[in-house]
């Protein structure tokens, strides 16, 4: 398969030095890339700013913001069979980016707007022979929100995982399929989980 | 000398996964620590979340937020001769931290308040036999703002450097003394700059 994997956080600039970030370490993405390469697949990686070491791939696109990741994914997806959207893309970005460095004086209000919805856009452009795996990082007990995303965004399989997955070496996920199936997994090391998920994703093409 | 060095950025939580960060890499702090150890000084390092390798010191305190760094500096400063405040401490933090993960819906407004002013507090508690070196990261041409900080915060020496110093391996700084002297330096590698600055800081004790 030709697999497109996104990984890491995005950063949304507030001014020349400050940004809104998130705690994604990129470890899940790194595990997926390793598992995909080990299984002989061709991998394109679209990567936000991370500090963990990433396995080297034939094609890697470094991005910073959600807008850049959106553009890269929409450009790359048509030439791939499968998208695994492991990146923790910012949902919000400051409406106005100050070109200088904001001086410290009084209070500061940062008005934010929603970023592009990458999964939803991919869901709209997806061909019959393509598949898409999404990730839904939620507080515990919010499987309902993950299910709603699955249907609304035309995703084939969503990985629901609790927020404490970030920066952790292990993951306890629930897999949610478009046909309503649910699979609750045990606590797994990210490497084991990546291998399992890749197997489930391969089976999506038999549907 | 017993030198207290702060390094790296701080992160100010917005919710369980998002935060306001800045582009400080911690490289300047790492260079200062290396130069201080090489010169035989005793170093305590107070460090924000960085991904660069830090030289090992006998005493290291890892912090995340400006409030934690403020508390650590005020606790440590009395037992040190010199503070070198190389950390890029956030000037603002969200007023309210959401305990969960904010869902993406509509727009988002983040109300921020100023953080503790660490340098100013150190300036107030500084004994006659202690010295303090501050850093002022400003847009080009804002030396005036750095000078104003120097006087208001009772700092002995301020390093004015332009915002493009962040994540760069080199630095072009202007040193500003409390007595009004200014020293404009050439572009230097951070290691060279650290050695030079440490020499200047040592001379502050002869004043």
pLDDT of amino acid B141 = 66
With a CB cutoff of 8 Å and minimum separation 6, the contacts of A72 are A46, A61, A63
**CA dist B135 → A62, B24, B145 (Å):** 31, 12, 12
Smallest CA-to-CA distance from A180 within A157, A152, A153, A207 is with A157
Which candidate in B53, B62, B92 is best for mutational testing of the A interface (most A CBs within 10 A)? B92
With a CB cutoff of 8 Å and minimum separation 6, the contacts of B144 are none
Domains of chain B by start residue, with CATH: 2-97+112-206 (3.40.50.10300)
Distance from CA of B14 to the nearest CA of A (A): 9
Binding-site residues on chain A for chain B (CB distance < 8 A): 11, 14, 16-24, 51, 88, 90-92, 95, 100-104, 106-114, 137-139, 145, 163, 166
Contacts of B101 in chain A (CB under 8 A): 137-139, 163
pLDDT of amino acid A141 = 66
pLDDT in tens, B11-25: 999 999 999 999 999
Q: Is residue A22 annotated as a catalytic residue, yes or no?
A: yes
Confidence of residue B103 (pLDDT cuts 50, 70, 90): confident
pTM for the complete prediction? Answer: 0.91
Choose the closest CB to A112 out of B17, B101, B107: B107
Smallest CA-to-CA distance from A15 within A106, A96, A113 is with A96
Q: Which two tokens stand for residue A75?
A: 């450009």
Contacts of B17 in chain A (CB under 8 A): 22-24, 88, 137, 163, 166
User: Of B101-110, B134-143, B180-189, B197-206, where does mean pLDDT reach its minimum?
Assistant: B134-143
- Residue of A22, A154, A161, A167 with catalytic role: A22
pLDDT in tens, B64-86: 999 999 999 999 999 999 999 99
pLDDT in tens, A176-199: 999 889 999 999 999 999 999 999
């Amino acid at each position: 398969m030709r697999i497109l994997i996104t990984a890491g956080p995005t950063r949304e600039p507030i001014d020349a030095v400050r940004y809104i970030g998130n705690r994604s370490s990129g470890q899940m993405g790194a595990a997926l890339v390793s598992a995909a390469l080990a299984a002989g697949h061709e991998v394109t990686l679209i990567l936000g700013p991370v500090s963990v070491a990433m396995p080297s791939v034939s094609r890697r696109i470094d991005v910073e913001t959600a807008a850049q990741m959106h553009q890269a994914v929409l450009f790359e997806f048509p030439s791939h069979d499968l998208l695994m959207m492991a990146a923790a893309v910012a949902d919000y970005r400051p409406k106005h980016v100050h070109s200088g460095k904001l001086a410290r004086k009084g209070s500061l209000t940062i008005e934010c707007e929603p970023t592009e919805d990458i999964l939803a856009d991919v869901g709209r452009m997806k061909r019959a022979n393509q598949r898409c795996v999404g990730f839904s990082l939620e507080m515990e007990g919010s499987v309902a929100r993950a299910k709603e995303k699955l249907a609304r965004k035309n995703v084939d399989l969503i990985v629901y995982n609790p927020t404490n997955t970030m920066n952790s070496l292990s993951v306890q996920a629930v897999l949610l399929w478009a046909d309503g199936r649910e699979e609750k997994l045990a606590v797994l090391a990210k490497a084991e989980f990546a291998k399992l998920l890749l197997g489930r994703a391969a089976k999506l093409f038999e549907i």
